[in-house]
Amino acid sequence: MRKHKLLAAALFTAAMGVGNAALASDVVKMIIPTAPGGGTDSLFRAAARYAEPYLDATVVVQNAGGAGGAIGVGQLARAKPDGLTMAGVWMGPITVAPHSIPTTYGLNDYIPVIQLDAAPYVLCVRKDFPANNGKELLEQLKSKPGHYTFGTDGVAGPGQLAAERVFQAFGAKARDIPYRGAGESMTALMGKVVDIYVGSVPPAVAMVKAGDVKCLLATSAGPVAALPQATTLTTLGIPEKETLLWHGIVVPAGTPDATVEHIADAFEKAANSPEMAKFFETAGVEKKILRRKAFSDHISKEYAELGDLVKELGLQKQ
């Protein structure tokens, strides 16, 4: 009840244009750089809800979609580093977008606090496709360069880059057909508009259970529990080409270290809750905690590798 009263008071104060420092200490803003209602939005809203008791604050969500998440991250980078603003982000606007579109932020404009989860992209085909595992899929693509098409989540998006990393390692070539998300890509696969689906795990699991598709390859080094038949990159001998779609929390550069630790503690406890465990399972992702330096190191490495790939593919910003 107290939190609801504080939230109502905060919204009223903001509307009146009056500051209240005492109240602000109990209200924290989370920027989610995507439109409301999707999988990313739902994940961060759930994480925020279960982190609130450990933050000792009410989390108010502000959706700021556009430019593949770059608009919202730009807002986060410009916010005061007072611990009252954070953002729920994924790899797209952090390690991909800065290479392919103009952005107003860089690696030094935010502090990686904690990574919460990770999941691979999967490559799936219709039942009549002439391949039954990841190696056969790549051999088929290699035998007919540029003949086959694959549907992804956008030009220079994480899905395209995840697939291209694997294709390049085997000298295989296929044509990317960009869509607005996994749902559209799967519809295109079933409608025979594209030959290969490159997207998240949940839509693929549903279609595999229905007997409509076979998922041949995962962009992870390890196996996918929900799709054990998908060939891993370790099996193919290229575990270093792993690309995982992750979600995590960042704050503006300059945020006090003690505050960053407090936020990391709160979200780690939230991620370890039974409620979030159930959410992760339903969402088709696995909990994967990386705190502070480990998360920062991962972002820096991925940023460099995907930047090089974007240049090789000629997709860099002009």
Q: What is the pLDDT of residues 92-128, one digit of tens each?
A: 999 999 999 999 999 999 999 999 999 999 999 999 9
Confidence class for position 252, pLDDT limits 50, 70, 90 = very high
Q: What is the pLDDT of residues 222-237, one digit of tens each?
A: 999 889 999 999 999 9
Q: What is the pLDDT of residues 134-186, one digit of tens each?
A: 999 999 999 999 999 999 988 899 999 999 999 999 999 999 999 988 889 99
**Structure tokens given for 171:** 């000298």
Picking from 103, 98, 205, 188, the residue whose alpha carbon sits closest to that of residue 152 is 188
Domains and CATH numbers, the chain: 27-117+246-313 (3.40.190.150), 122-241 (3.40.190.10)
Q: What is the pLDDT of residue 24?
A: 41
Q: What is the pLDDT of residue 246?
A: 97
The whole-number average pLDDT for the span 15-41 is 69
Torsion angles phi and psi, residue 59, rounded to 5? -100, 120
Distance CA 39, CA 42 (A): 5
